[in-house]
Amino acid sequence: MKKIFILTGETSGDKLASKVIRNLQKTNPHIEYLSVGGENLKSLGIKSIYDLKEITYLGFTSVILNIFKINRKINETVKSIISFKPDILFTVDSPDFTLRVADKVKKINTNIKTVHYVAPQVWVWREGRVKKIKKFIDHVLLLFKFEKKYFDKEAVSCEFVGHPLIEESINEKIDINQFISKNKAIISVFAGSRISEINILTPILLNFIRLMIKKHEDFIYVFHSTKEHSDLLHSHIKSSGLTCCEVISDEKLKKHILKKSVFAICKSGTVSLEICSAKIPLIILYKMGFINFLIIKMLVKIKYANIINIAANEEIIPELLQSKCSPKNIYKLVNMYLDNPEKIKDQMIKIQKILDSFKTEKPSSVLASESLNRFLK
């Protein structure tokens, strides 16, 4: 029986990996799996060698403070992969963790084929990184077409497979009125998938909601959470005393609630593509420690944080980053859109144009699973 080790580094990677593997399980059921994964891979019956929470760190300083722990985890992971003897090491996103593991694995056993899903954003950070990747990654699966030129330049084996999050559709019907009052309009809120993000952004978002309830009484604010972090969000909301907030962690329910939302506020990251695909107007926000921000400012060479804005070379989705990420600024932007339907329409038209350029003939998860199947032969 063929074997695949799936290596993710955070919740979004776990979600992306699960879509590919779900398809692969249908087309090739004779594969044994082991992983570093979360709830999504677990739902497919795939064991994780440890809890994903143990390796999710936000920012450079957090990594520095946990450097010995991270190195221990990298070595522990390498040891497990070598012991498992997979035909393929399937690494997904989180390059500062997954690629370091892949490098060490390849040095020990060159027979293990390495396929990386979600290319490191060399166009944001370090283009020289591509040359290093070539030494230990056999194939890269690209989410965006414009990335290909960076890897072709160094003759790195790669293919554009598209982004699975822009292909999602809702088939199952769920009556959300049993969870959310039908007299309330929904604003979906995404405070992040890491504890550090949630602890930084949630107080800002709750103070924004305090401003909103002075003007609007007909909104309910639904915080989209992972199951592991729902208690943390509940505690923040309980401490705030606000009664117009809910926390939802069920994946199917989250999709239906997002689809019924009038607006979304989300931290910068992959989730923005889900919101865009659901055709919900949105703004992006992010805040991190001052030292982390200074380091990133020195290294990053692009104008925007969000992939839609990067691809368009225009701020289609407003970005409130660092000092701009304040309750008052969020309030102003949200109300600007809610009070001006034409601005929402304009944003939706521009977003759809960019999303269309990301699409492939076959679903992304199918193309990615087909690629893995080829490497198994």
d(CA 327, CA 94): 30
Question: What pLDDT is stored for residue 139 in this prediction?
Answer: 97
Hey, which residues does 188 pair with through a beta bridge?
222, 264
Over residues 44-87, the pLDDT tens digits come to 999 999 998 887 654 444 555 567 778 888 999 999 999 999 99
Nearest to 107 by CA among 132, 126, 72, 142: 132
Average pLDDT over residues 230-246: 95
Rounded to a whole number of angstroms, the CA Rg of the chain reads 21
Query: What's the pLDDT band for 248 if we cut at 50, 70, 90?
Result: very high
pTM of the model: 0.76
Are 88 and 105 a contacting pair, CB within 8 Å?
no
Reply yes or no on whether the pLDDT at 178 is more than 90.
no
Percent of the chain scoring above 90 in pLDDT: 62
pLDDT at 245 > cutoff 60: yes
Asked which of 90-94, 97-101, 175-179, 192-196 is least confident by mean pLDDT, the reply is 175-179
Is residue 284 pLDDT above 50, yes or no? Answer: yes
2-167+360-376 to CATH, choices 3.90.1300.10, 3.40.50.150, 3.40.50.2000, 3.40.50.300: 3.40.50.2000
CA atoms within 13 A on the CB side of 151: 25
CB burial string 108-133: b at 16+ within 10 A, e below: eeeebbbbbbbbbbbbbeeeebbeeb
pLDDT of residue 52: 86
Domain ranges (residues) in the chain? 2-167+360-376, 176-358
pLDDT at 59: 46
Percent of the residues in the chain that have a pLDDT greater than 70, as a whole number: 88
Q: Is the pLDDT of residue 364 over 50?
A: yes
pLDDT tens readout for residues 115-156 = 999 987 665 555 566 778 889 999 999 998 888 888 898 899
Which pLDDT score, from 0 to 100, does residue 61 have?
44
Q: Answer yes or no: same fold for 2-167+360-376 and 176-358.
A: yes
Whether 316 has a pLDDT exceeding 80, the answer reads: yes
Q: Residue 191: pLDDT above 50?
A: yes
What pLDDT score does 172 carry? Answer: 62
Whole-number pLDDT of residue 127 = 58
For the cut 70, the answer to whether the pLDDT of residue 108 exceeds it is yes
- Residue 2: predicted pLDDT: 96
Q: For residue 38, is it left (φ>0), alpha (ψ between -120 and 50) or beta?
A: beta
Per-residue tokens: 156: 């790195």
Yes or no: is domain 176-358 CATH 1.10.760.10? no
122 or 324, which is more confident? Answer: 324
Residue 305: band (very low, low, confident or very high) from pLDDT cuts 50, 70, 90:
confident
- The pLDDT mean for the chain works out to 88
In the predicted structure, residue 295 carries a pLDDT above the cut 60: no
